[in-house]
Amino acid sequence: MKVKYNIDIVASSPLRVIKRRVSRAMPDSGKMKKPDVKLVILGDMNVGKTSLLHRYMERKFKETISTIGGAFFLKQWGPYTISIWDTAGREQFHGLGSMYCRGASAVILTYDVTNWQSLAELEERFLSLTDTAKDDCIFAIVGNKADLTDPKVLEVEPEEEGTGQPPVCSPPTVSPIVRKQVQREEAIALYGRILRYKLQDERSSLPAERMCFETSAKTATMWTCCSRHCLTWSFPPS
Amino acid sequence: MSVKAFELVPAVERELLMGDKARINIECIECCGKHLYVGTNDCFIHHFLLEEHTTPKGKLVFSAQKVLHKYLGLKKPVNELKAASALERLMVLCDNTVIVVDMVNLEAVSSGGAKIKGVVAFCVNENPVNGDPFCVEMGVICAKRRTVQIYMVYEDRVQMVKEVSTPEQPCAVCLDGYFLCLALSSQYMILNYSTGASQDLFPYDSEEKKPIVKRIGREEFLLAAPGGLGMFATAAGVSQRAPVNWSESVIGAAVSFPYVVALDEGFVTVHSMLDQQLKQTLSFRDGHILQDFEGKVMLASTKAVYVLVPRPLERQIQDLLAGHRVEEALTLAEGAQRNIPKDKFQIMHRRILQQAGFIQFGQLQFLEAKEHFRKGQLDVRELISLYPLLLPSSSSFTRCHPPLHEFADLNHLAQGDQEKVQRCKLFLISYLREARSTEGANGCREDVDTALLKLYAEANHESLLDLLASDNACLLADSAPWLEKHHKYFALGLLYHYNGQDDAALQLWVRVVDGDLQDSTRSDLYEYVVDFLSFCSSLDLVWKYAEWALQKEQKVGVQIFTRRAVSDEQEAQMSPDAVIKRLHKYHQATVLYLEHLVLGRRVQKEAFHTHLAVLYLEKVLSLLSQSPAPAQQVTEAREKLQNLLKESSLYRVQLLLDKLQDTDLLLECATLHGKLEEHDKALHILVHRLKDFPAAEDYCAWASASRDQGYRQRLFHLLLGVYLGPDAPGNEHTVAAVDLLNRHAVMFDPAHVLRLLPEGWSLQLLRPFLCGALRGATHARHTSQVALGLARSENLLLKHDRLKYRGGPVLVSEKKGCQLCHNTFTEPDCVCLPGGVPVHTHCAAQRVRDSPRKRQSTNPSNHT
């Protein structure tokens, strides 16, 4: 059975994905049936992959420690069992990434909006891991930690940096608000490059506007250019 | 707190193996059933028999007995041992050569073919593709050629069946079916030796750290990964379980479902494959080898051999539960499902779920607890019994043994915290309610319902009454004291009623109504009792408590009788006569009951009507006798009386008339006279004594209501006569008479009236009457003329029809003769006999006269 599905971002209540509730994170065990679909979250270390997943599974933000190796969760989406893999971002575990991605139907590439390098790493380091994913794998690019930036500052200040070189370390401030280092347009551009890399037709793929957005696992709010969005995953019956 | 999943038990002590020779080290071990083989660095193979004993304390111990030891004569360490028990062969890797020796005597198999040279490592396929049970498949890494060879090992020979090359030099191998899982120098890979297809897994520097390749199940392997991880990988190159986190210095790994055991320099670590968490750490120094053999995990230092004995699953689960680690316990139990027989698992799983539920219950996590109780099919009473005094004393229930929880009772659980107690009670209420609606309460409905009743009563819960009013199994003996204690007397009454003890119920309620007992459940309890009695089927009870109810309030009390549904079987005892007899003390109640009979049920019985009329009359009279008489009440009372007198025709008129003789109730008198058809008397009273002319006219209309027009006319004429009568003084009634005539012109015969009227009345005065009368007469004439005309035309039509049906004309002429006398006709008159035969009239008459039966058989008619 081949399950066709798509990631759909629908303008409704923020982060509906996160709202879906599970009684508990189900660890793998003998009783679990084999998952139908695999979804992998990739991204540099410390961008908040595990936190995003916690927000999704348990609707809360908690302090996490650096993921070792990887972790995964099973979730029931209607008749389908979905396995969601949280990967370790540390360089040390990089080699395992392609194994996690093997046969994946969806990949969420995560970066830290306050850290330009984390976006660059997606392309340099993580994109190649997805070679083992399915050919029609779909991609979403998610910028995390949007709560650490000040959206008001952004509006008045059309930033120029971030197009190429990583910017110089921001001046030490007392405020936790730091300047946003990654513009959403860059993520959208990256999305286009990913499609080309995967030889997917841009016109038939899901539009970048819907597959790239910024969020915060901590505050569970969405900052996107157009409106509050959410991820919904829809599975047309195969 | 961790789980104690394994216990480290020594198997072969150092003394037994090598005595005091310090330089001898264990290189490899193999265990097959009771046979333990140990390979040493001085090229010896030692064979032990390992016996398992259980000490009186329940601990498992091993005793090893040395059977044999054999020197291979190569002065090199024995690198690897693998037993093939079906062949009774032991494969030995020593000095890069695999030799096959006999399992029993350790002698090399004689023929020269049983030897493979240039071997780095080898493995046995535990999932062989060859169906031959007397053949072992073996994967062999060759020393130099970057190849892996597949051999079939038979009793006396080995045979290579396949050789595959690898991109790099392999250093560890594992075989499952056609899949070779290989550790190469820089990565792991899967190689299908049948198809040649390969699948890279992940990079790993085998030169830096010793790789681990371990088959853990069908087409699934466990591999040492960078960063001290234990990675799971399937033959398809996919990871289906999250990795376990070992230390960087991991030496060996073994699997004992559901655990992964790993050995490093100082410790043995136990991770669960179910949730990848570290479950147990055992300190173990100088660890050298960790392997599992047919499910038995063995551990060896360089000098001694140990067994890691898994503790029984149930004990582990109980440990987890004791530590309140509910989720882990359940995960462990469910994960181990496939290793336990189904029925045994179900019993165990249910018990664990119940225990888990109680743990969560103790933590006041009611939602989760409820879910676990439900899944674990908990006997509801187990929960009820936690609450003191809730189970009926007659209940046969005893708590499960061993206990499912550590609580003595609710107070113990709540430690005196009343808020907690309350929350627990609320939970039990909701739980029991659900249990009632499902099969959960099967077999113990009495206990459940009684407990629920007690909880409701205690909590002053509104559903108490619903419970008692609906189908329930509450135990009366146990509930009654409880309800009394909480002053739920109304509810207790309901319970009595439900148990068929209406008398007790009523007794209780009466005491509440009378204020002897306090229960504010129903402020209208008195009305409720009356209503209850009106439906009560026991007439004895009705009589017993009717008295009380009537004394309390007649108007309400009488509803016991008025609301009662009429049924035949009760009619005998609860007959209206009997009721009235009982009620006679209670005047108001009697009136109401009679009203119910006469006006409501329309009972046509003289006695009731007369009785009611007399009572009405008495009431009026008593009111009138007061001074001043309360006008409003008098009017009402009289209206009732008048209505009854007018409407009913069953009462005894004469009796009432006698009673009315000396009173001022003239209108009533008139009505009574009317009933006696004494209209002149009635009208006389109305006109002359009451002088109430509209009443007189109404009387005429009323008295003639069900009679014909003539009767009515007579009455009106009578009234006119009274107006104009001789005893009318002067012209007092002239106006009334004129009004009467003018208003009811149609009721009078004008001719008769005109004769009656005095001469002196002006025409103008009577103009409306006369006009009306004239118009009426004219109208009547016209109408009758029309009617006449219509009748005539109808007659004509009928005649025409008749002729039409008679057939053709009857011809009469002078030449035709009469059939009877045979003379000719001289006149047109004739009589037709049946068949249209004309005869003379006189002949026909003659014939009729002569006929013996004197019956007229012909139908004479005239024709012209």
Tokens of B473: 């199994």
Measured CA to CA, the distance from residue B516 to residue B489 in angstroms comes to: 11
Measured CA to CA, the distance from residue A112 to residue A102 in angstroms comes to: 25
Contact between B764 and B742 (Cβ < 8 Å): no
Mutate to test the interface with A, among B238, B255, B328 (most CBs of A within 10 A): B238
On whether both B140 and B207 belong to a single domain, the answer is yes
On whether both B304 and B330 belong to a single domain, the answer is no
On whether both B207 and B323 belong to a single domain, the answer is no
| Segment of B523-532, B706-715, B725-734 carrying the highest mean pLDDT | B523-532
Pick from B378, B403, B425: which residue ends a domain? B378
On whether both B282 and B333 belong to a single domain, the answer is no
pLDDT at A162: 40
Contact between A90 and A19 (Cβ < 8 Å): no
Query: Does A96 contact chain B (CB < 8 Å)?
Result: yes
pLDDT at B798: 92
CATH number, residue B839: 3.30.40
On whether both B316 and B263 belong to a single domain, the answer is no
On whether both B236 and B359 belong to a single domain, the answer is no
* A70/B334 CB distance under 8 A: no
Ordered DSSP codes for B101-134? EETTT-PBPSSTTSEEESEEEEEE-SS-SS--TT
On whether both B337 and B296 belong to a single domain, the answer is no
The pairing of beta strand B89-94 with beta strand B97-102: antiparallel
On whether both B294 and B318 belong to a single domain, the answer is no
pLDDT, one tens digit per residue, over B405-424 is 888 888 888 888 888 888 88
Which residue would you say has higher pLDDT here, B285 or B703?
B285
Contact between B839 and B819 (Cβ < 8 Å): yes
DSSP annotation of A130: G
The C-alpha R_g of chain B, in whole angstroms, comes to 60
The C-alpha of A236 sits at a distance from chain B's nearest C-alpha, in angstroms, of 25
pLDDT at B300: 92
The secondary structure element, H or E, covering residue B805 is helix B767-806
Asked whether residue B816 is assigned to any structural domain, the reply reads yes
Asked whether residue B37 is assigned to any structural domain, the reply reads yes
Tally of domains within chain B: 3
Measured CA to CA, the distance from residue B356 to residue B405 in angstroms comes to: 9
* B243/A96 CB distance under 8 A: yes
pLDDT, one tens digit per residue, over B655-709 is 877 877 777 777 777 777 777 777 777 777 777 777 777 777 787 777 777 777 7
Contact between B357 and B351 (Cβ < 8 Å): no
C-alpha torsion B566→B567→B572→B576, nearest 10: 0
pLDDT, one tens digit per residue, over B115-168 is 888 899 999 998 888 888 888 999 999 887 889 999 998 887 888 899 999 998
A 10 A CB-CB count for B52 gives 14
On whether both B43 and B169 belong to a single domain, the answer is yes
* B231/A24 CB distance under 8 A: no
pLDDT, one tens digit per residue, over A105-128 is 999 999 998 888 999 999 888 988
Contact between A197 and A180 (Cβ < 8 Å): no
Nearest to B227 among A31, A72, A93 (CB): A93
The C-alpha of A99 sits at a distance from chain B's nearest C-alpha, in angstroms, of 6
pLDDT, one tens digit per residue, over B337-350 is 777 788 888 888 88
Nearest to A27 among B203, B237, B274 (CB): B274
Contact between B258 and B335 (Cβ < 8 Å): yes
On whether both B87 and B222 belong to a single domain, the answer is yes
Residue B177: HSE in the Cβ half-sphere, 13 Å Cα cutoff: 13
Nearest to A68 among B201, B229, B275 (CB): B229
Asked whether residue B127 is assigned to any structural domain, the reply reads yes
Contact between A109 and A133 (Cβ < 8 Å): no
Which positions ≥6 away from B826 have C-beta within 8 Å?
B814
Asked whether residue B518 is assigned to any structural domain, the reply reads no
Contact between B608 and B593 (Cβ < 8 Å): no
Pick from B327, B350, B378: which residue ends a domain? B378
Asked whether residue B216 is assigned to any structural domain, the reply reads yes
Asked whether residue B696 is assigned to any structural domain, the reply reads no
The C-alpha of B313 sits at a distance from chain A's nearest C-alpha, in angstroms, of 15
- The domain ranges of chain A are 17-223
pTM of the model: 0.62
On whether both B307 and B353 belong to a single domain, the answer is no
pLDDT at B568: 60
Beta strands in A11-59 (DSSP E): 37-43
Sign of the Cα torsion A67, A71, A76, A77 reads positive
- Closest residue in chain B to residue A67, using alpha carbons only: B245
Identify the CATH class of A17-223.
Answer: alpha beta
- Mean pLDDT to the nearest integer, B99-104: 89
Measured CA to CA, the distance from residue B645 to residue B617 in angstroms comes to: 10
Pick from B258, B279, B311: which residue ends a domain? B311
* A24/B242 CB distance under 8 A: no
pLDDT of A235 above 60? no
Q: What are phi and psi of B829, to 5 degrees?
A: -65, 135
Q: Tell me, what's the ipTM?
A: 0.72
pLDDT at B667: 76
Measured CA to CA, the distance from residue B153 to residue B147 in angstroms comes to: 19
Asked whether residue B199 is assigned to any structural domain, the reply reads yes
DSSP annotation of B427: H
Query: Does A33 contact chain B (CB < 8 Å)?
Result: no
- Range B421-424 contact pairs with CB under 8 angstroms and sequence separation of 24 or more: B423/B364, B423/B366, B424/B361, B424/B364, B424/B386, B424/B387
Beta strands in chain A (DSSP E): 6-10, 37-43, 70-77, 80-87, 106-112, 138-144, 212-215, 222-223, 230-234
Q: What angle do CA B811, B813, B816 make, to 5 degrees?
A: 90
Query: Does A102 contact chain B (CB < 8 Å)?
Result: yes
Asked whether residue B303 is assigned to any structural domain, the reply reads yes
Residues of chain B found within 8 Å of residue A81, distances taken between Cβ atoms: none
B833: containing domain:
811-864
* A70/B243 CB distance under 8 A: yes
pLDDT, one tens digit per residue, over B820-834 is 888 888 777 877 776
Tokens of B525: 């309890």
Ordered DSSP codes for B633-702? HHHHHHHHHHHHHHH---S-HHHHHHHHTTSS-HHHHHHHHHHTT-HHHHHHIIIIII--HHHHHHHHHH
Mutate to test the interface with B, among A41, A102, A105 (most CBs of B within 10 A): A102
On whether both B304 and B320 belong to a single domain, the answer is no
